[in-house]
Structure 1
């Protein structure tokens, strides 16, 4: 498949880019940053909040799918968050409709349900309970994907990513870890699953202590192979572990991330 990968210069983007190429896909990169070392392909230096620039990039070559990883990866004001997660997704979806690209894989987040108390294995049928404005942005982007799937017949897969790291660094990560290799497996499965329509899956590895149900991903062909338990002996307990285990969003659900929705200046 020929895939436009947004956020291709980021930490996830570079891993996914190399992994998709290894699996026979052709990757077209798009990012605010310039082409990273080692990328061998077409590159667009574009801000995804610019709908005209996004449309030009999507229409510059025939595409089979879009993988949307570009966004601000941390908490911000509500307007900035909506621009980063929702406006960018809208620009891509409109461009896809215009240029007849019928599949998008979206990097959502566990923070879309991060305020859910951790009491049981959480499925995709749980109601959205964002823990931050970052989580709100992910929920809103998922809703937009659902709308375009219904309205235009686009196949849209939202991957609620856990903790994307080379290896777990905390007790929480033993439940939420997504390995580099499993991340590529997940995206590849989402790209190639037959006619998924709108779907949500949890993006974690096959962790023994998993907090989220991997069944929906497996039904789409995502079969993770790694387990954070392999690293359990290297992860030392920490005073914050109990607080981070109270909600599935971990520290994002704690008071340190509380802030006003709107930045007010001049007062």
Structure 2
């Protein structure tokens, strides 16, 4: 029997200040030649602060917080994209995440070639990707451009293809950062249907959104983040009330 779960114990995550500084030779020379001293020293950013929680199979968890509160960082930490600085992180189960859709595209390669590349990034085998290639092509519905280099695509076409690839298979744990806008009305209808299907198949869902109606319709539990801290964990309706209270919203 599977024991899929998410368990965090006093998790802290810092962004290094180095990531915020210019590191090119040109910028370095500019600073050396400048007679003006920096008015503010850049410090490491404490993005997540002492986060402890358990999420078990069957739970549908919504995330709320102002921009910069830590929601996206939290999701990327769960996905293993951001390493924690201290504490303990245990995520058991196959994780599928829908954010950073442009990740893994090779601009000079065709759409078909990128289907294979992105599939490998998702941990899927070349044989499997070849078997489902036509299904992905049909869902993306970008016509002859599927055989053109990605660099010739519009932003919308890239998102459509990336969405089609990333959602072709589900996982035990589904991480979503907002509902993805990916083209015209017909495609959006298909996209929403596929997301709902993935949600139904997943054992655990973690969804970050500012859409209260979506959170109330899908989630039963809510988390409120505020300046990197988890300030509320409870029923989703009370979560929305707490979010409004913390952010002084009517």
Q: TM-score, normalised by structure 1?
A: 0.31
Q: Which has the higher contact order (CA 8 A, sep 6+)?
A: 2
As a proportion of its length, which structure holds more strand?
Answer: 2
> Which structure has the larger Rg over C-alpha atoms?
2
TM-score for both structures, normalised by structure 2: 0.33
